[in-house]
Amino acid sequence: MKIKVLRQRDPGSEPFWQEFLYEEETENQTIAGMIDELNYKDDLKDSSGNPAPRILWECSCLQGMCGACAMVINGVPALACDTFLKDLKGDTITLEPLRKFPTIVDLVVDRSIIQENLMKVNAYIEEYEGADNSEYEHMYMTGRCLKCGLCLEVCPNYRAGENFYGAAFANDCYLIEARSNTQGKEISEAYKEHFARGCSKALSCMDVCPVKIPTLSSIAKMNRG
């Protein structure tokens, strides 16, 4: 199996493709495990036999719970630890960093803008207040957001630094409005300004979300208010 990795050795340098051969067992292997196995080799070489530095990437939980390993796999944004080789078509796999965020090195990107946007509009719960029981299930589902950025990567309307903050933001707005009577008005204005006016309802965010957050329901609930 050929593995093509879009590499960048530091933020200012030119990205380049490097190809590796992976000849181990693929049946139960994930992209994360495959990168690890390549990296275990003290003398990692590319497919032409040239020495190559280890492939740098980000991970933590290795069980689909933290979002750190988000990258573009065969052109599709996904979690490396939750993507199995056997589910990918063809004998060549391409790995690229998320393209909507600045690359730090290889497959590691800077996603701090997700938190920065939330902080800009005070999108955090100041004080928990009683919530409607009928909302609990949706609140639980929504609260599982990993802030992985896959929804922003695939969104046709999201560009870093622009006014539209994307699906993860919309879901947090819903959670805050459902949980706080005092912050409701402020968060509703922020939602209109930074989500509702820019969303074209492509809803591709829901297709790639690794924890299947019901963003459409969050949007419907917010648009009611």
> In this chain, which stretch among 19-27, 94-102, 164-172, 188-196 interacts with ligand SF4, using CB under 6 A?
164-172
The verdict on 175 binding ligand SF4 (CB under 6 A) reads no
Q: Pick what 60 binds: ligand SF4, ligand FES, none; C-beta below 5 to 8 Å, kind-dependent.
A: ligand FES
Decide if 208 contacts 78 (C-beta within 8 A).
yes
Cβ atoms of 47 and 2 closer than 8 Å = yes
Shortest distance (Å) from residue 62 CB to ligand FES? 5
The site partner of 81 among ligand FES, ligand SF4, none (C-beta below 5 to 8 Å per kind) is ligand FES
- Indicate which of ligand FES, ligand SF4, none lies near residue 65 (CB less than 5 to 8 Å, by partner kind): ligand FES
Q: What is the distance between the alpha carbons of residues 120 and 78, in angstroms, rounded to a whole number?
A: 27
Q: Which is nearer to ligand SF4, 20 or 101 (CB)?
A: 101
Burial of 193 (0-12, 13-18, 19+ CB in 10 A): middle
| 44 or 59: CB nearest ligand SF4 | 59
Question: Pick from 113, 194, 109: which is nearest to 157 by CA?
Answer: 194
What residue 154 binds from ligand SF4, ligand FES, none (CB within 5 to 8 A, per partner kind)? Answer: none
Alpha-carbon gap, residue 8 to 161, rounded angstroms? 22
* Span near ligand SF4 by CB under 6 A; candidates 35-43, 99-107, 117-125, 206-214: 206-214
Per CB under 6 A, contacts with ligand SF4 among 109-148 are 145-148
Residue 64 in the binding site for ligand SF4 (CB under 6 A): no
Shortest reach from residue 79's CB to ligand SF4, in Å: 9
Q: Which residues of 134-157 are buried (b: 16+ CB within 10 A; e: fewer)?
A: ebeebeebbeebbbbbbbbbbbeb
Look at residues 73, 76, 85, 82 and name the one whose alpha carbon lies nearest to residue 27: 85
Cβ nearer to ligand FES, comparing 33 with 67: 67
Nearer of residues 36 and 46 to ligand FES, judged by Cβ: 36
Cα 37 to Cα 24: distance, rounded to the nearest angstrom: 9
